[in-house]
Amino acid sequence: MVVFEPLDDPLKVLPLPLKLLALLGVNKNPSERFRLYAIYAYLCIALFIPKLCLGYETIPQCFRSIAEGMFSFNTTVTFIMLPLKMNNLEGLLQNLKRFTQIVIINEDYEQILISLNTTIHKFTKFYFIFTNGVVFSITGSTIAGMLYTYYTKDSERSAAFPLVMENRFYWIDSHYNLGHCFVHQALMFFALYILLVMFTAKAGTLFGLIRFCSTVLGIIVLKIERLCQIGSVDQYTAELSEIIELHQLVIKCSRQLQNILMEILLAQFTGCVFIWCFML
């Protein structure tokens, strides 16, 4: 799988998060977004339409389901908005790549960027493993609860099975029929796994970009601090000229990052507020 591939070039900008975005179909070219459109369609059919339109037996089920729906939408909304920001994203990546090519002549700065990329790669990989553990734990405990309910229920009374995602699913009687319940769990597990990959790609990309921009600013500060160690006037002038060029490049990167994150983080914050409202 893409996540477990080794880091072949430690000087590439966000190689693993960008591979995950490509796997999900996030692309500047609309004709190459078919995987992303297929993901949207599946999540709408499997999650959002049932949660919004098919009703609930109890009020607690309704509130739990809406909180789950808001959490799912909070993950999905990034991939609704990010394709609209592809020009900014590609421009930002090109500028960061250009910055890297300029500064790696110095071994110290090269090691800083190698360490940064290695850290981002490990963070994305471990984040994926952690969220896998969460999803498998939720699914496993739900299946254990289903089997416990089935084997301990009174034969004269029907018992409602716990569901990994609380919503009806069209004609499937998932709350009271064990076979239907397993079908529901399988469909929801696939939806959860899609959300897991999206969540990992989102975290790796956004946090990676923020970390990369802060690191290149740190490199500029380091270059300024080292100006006093240069004795030659020509070298000093050349270094100062390079610092000015890099500073202008980083300012452009910061503005592009702001344009990418502004609406996305607003949507994320709003979604988090709604999730807590419905959970409480």
Over residues 175-184, the pLDDT tens digits come to: 888 888 888 8
Q: What is the pTM of this model?
A: 0.85
pLDDT of residue 258: 92
Q: Identify the pLDDT of residue 280.
A: 65
Q: What is the DSSP letter of 11?
A: T
Alpha-helical (H) ranges within the chain are: 15-24, 34-43, 49-53, 59-81, 86-103, 107-152, 178-225, 233-279
Asked whether residue 275 carries a pLDDT value surpassing 70, the answer given is yes
What's the pLDDT score for residue 59? 83
pLDDT at 186 > cutoff 80: yes
pLDDT digits (tens, 9 = 90+) for 25-57: 887 777 778 888 899 999 999 888 888 887 778
Structure tokens at 226: 């080292």
Q: Closest by alpha carbon to 132, among 80, 197, 58, 179?
A: 197
The region, left, alpha or beta by phi > 0 then psi within -120 to 50, assigned to residue 158 is: beta
pLDDT > 80? residue 239:
yes
Q: pLDDT digits over 149-171, tens only?
A: 888 877 666 677 778 887 778 88
As given in the structure block, the two tokens for residue 7 are: 């880091």
Are the beta carbons of 253 and 88 closer than 8 angstroms? no
Task: Give the integer Cα–Cα distance in Å for 276 and 74.
Answer: 12
CB 90 within 8 A of CB 81: no
Backbone angles phi, psi at 169, to 5 degrees: -135, 80
Task: Please determine, for residue 267, whether its predicted confidence score (pLDDT) is greater than 90.
Answer: no
Do the beta carbons of residue 36 and residue 86 sit within 8 Å? no
Tokens representing residue 203 in the block: 């975290």
Rounded CA separation 248/256 (Å): 13
- Closest of 97, 98, 109 to residue 226, by C-alpha: 109
Three-state DSSP state, 6: coil
> CB-based contacts of 93: which residues, under 8 Å, 6+ apart?
13, 14, 18
Q: State residue 210's pLDDT score.
A: 93
